[in-house]
Structure 1
Amino acid sequence: MTSDPQDDAAAYASPPCFMHEGDDGASASPETHWPEIRRWRKAERERILAGRLAIPAARRAQMAARIAAGLDAAIGDPRHRVVGLYWPFRGEPDLRPWLASVIDRGGSAALPVVVEKGQPLIFRAYRPGDRLERGVWNIPVPAGGAEIIPDIVIAPLVGFDARNYRLGYGGGFYDRTLAALPRKPLVIGIGYAFSRIPTIYPQPHDIPMDRIVTEDDAE
């Protein structure tokens, strides 16, 4: 994913001026604050992404393996369940080996596809070896395959807070998608432990994750 064009305004180097209003950001939600929150989120996003990309690839692989173990503990038996994952992008945890193991254990997999800017994602069935094509931002997506509704959505995140709100890339795709799905899946945000922040200053359009899994959650 990439940043929302609305986030192209100059970023603040410091938190929003209303941070003193509440520790959890609950009092910082009025729509009149949204332009300021958006600029602050852009600055936080850039800071966290820079830290993420600075982690050596070998270390990220170790962290991804621990996240995979945490996912197994959170999900349990994947048989007869459809897991919607993501194709790793910009230093995100690479969970493709874990997804292959889900299929080996009797589960099914799906990848998200951007159909149109400002619209929900769709998920298409996927198995390792299926033909892929370049989608938006050159992220590989299934070239064909049936549209499918996941039972579990693994949502990549840039940052997250104690209330399980997710700081994403600014496009709003996952929020729109979760709001539009005909039935609610189990939604697990995936990221690195250092990406936790006190609050993202959640807005009415933000949807919290059911839980967050990082490398610190492996048993």
Structure 2
Amino acid sequence: MQSWEEVRAWRKSERAALLARRSAMPRDERKACEEAITALIGRSVPELGQVRSLGFYWPFKGEYDPRPLARSLHAQGLRLALPVVVERARPVEFRAWWPGMRLTPGVWGIPVPPEGEPVLPEALLVPLLGFDGQGYRLGYGGGYYDRTLAAMPVKPLAVGIGFRLSRLPTIHPQPHDVPMDLIVTEHRAFRAGGAVAGEHVEEGRH
């Protein structure tokens, strides 16, 4: 593919296929995969024990659910924050979150903190609809994480989280795409092009 128009059309088609594939995961399989991801994050991302603040996400459309992990990290003293779309097609704002706080529906109905001073997280957990071996992610097409990472004064550690079935040979990265520092699936955690920890399982496309 040569042009952005071709890549954009391909990505639209892949998003639909990836969403359908993820939605079709049996409940028991999903639960086992989520437990494996949580355990692998703990073993493979020691940097989370060195940061003071972490941005995570409220799960949407069958994404890995990071809320149990977030509650555990909060209990350990880590400051947590959720992304809030303040203006469409602009970087998101992170606002402090803690267990039990009141949330309101944001864009796409995703719960967000309704108010609060912006937080600049030192690390981010980023949901993956698709991803490739170079660390590039495929989201829903809004470009919010790319804009946010590009705009932050100090780039946080970006940890992409998804299921192995979302692996693609390439997402055909463009100049505006920002790669993750690490990607974690239920089978492996790796940096761009190389494994970090966990089961050494070949992650070909499924």
TM-score (norm 1): 0.83
Q: Secondary structure at the match of 2:119?
A: coil
Counterpart of 2:108 in 1: which secondary structure?
helix
Distance 2:153 2:43 in 1: 26
Offset of residue 104 of structure 1: 1.2
**Which deviates more from structure 2 when the two are superposed, residues 103-112 or residues 66-75?**
66-75
Task: Tell me by how many angstroms 1:143 deviates.
Answer: 1.9
Aligned to 1:148: 119
Partner residue, 1:54: 24
**What does residue range 1-219 of structure 1 map to in structure 2 within 5 Å?**
18=1, 28=2, 33-76=3-46, 78=49, 81-217=52-188, 218=198
The CA distance in 1 between the partners of 2:27 and 2:118, in whole Å, is 33
The 3-state SS of whatever aligns with 1:124 is strand
Deviation at 1:69, TM superposition (A): 1.3
Contact 2:51–2:123 (CA<8 Å) still a contact in 1? no
Cα offset for 1:147? 1.1
Question: Per chain length, whose mean CA-contact separation is higher, i.e. which structure has more relative contact order (CA < 8 Å, sep 6+)?
Answer: 1
Aligned-pair CA distance for 1:138: 0.3
Q: Deviations over 1:38-61 (max 9, x none)?
A: 000011111011010011233212
Matched with 1:6 is none
Residue deviations 1:8-39, cap 9 Å, x none? xxxxxxxxxx3xxxxxxxxx4xxxx0011000
- Looking at structure 1, the residues matched to 74 and 60 of structure 2 have their Cα atoms a distance apart, in angstroms, of 22
Conservation of the 8 A alpha-carbon contact between 2:51 and 2:122: no
Query: What's the C-alpha RMSD, in Å, of the aligned pairs?
Result: 1.3
Deviation digits for residues 131-174 of structure 1, max 9, x if unmatched?
Answer: 10000010000122321011111110110011000011000000
**Greater share of helix residues, 1 or 2?**
1
Gaps of 5+ in 1: 1-17, 19-27
User: The residue matched to 1:175 in structure 2 has which SS?
Assistant: helix
Runs of 4+ in structure 1 off by over 6 angstroms are none
- Name the SS for the 2:187 alignment partner: helix
In the comparison of the two structures, how many residue pairs are matched? Answer: 189
Identity of aligned residues (%): 52
Long gaps (5+) in structure 2: 189-197, 200-206
Q: Which has the larger radius of gyration?
A: 1
Matches of 1:135 and 1:159 in 2, distance apart?
23
Q: Distance in 1 between matches of 2:115 and 2:31?
A: 29
Could you tell me how far apart the structure 1 residues matched to 2:28 and 2:145 are? 28
Q: In the alignment, is the contact (CA less than 8 A) between 2:63 and 2:162 conserved in 1?
A: yes
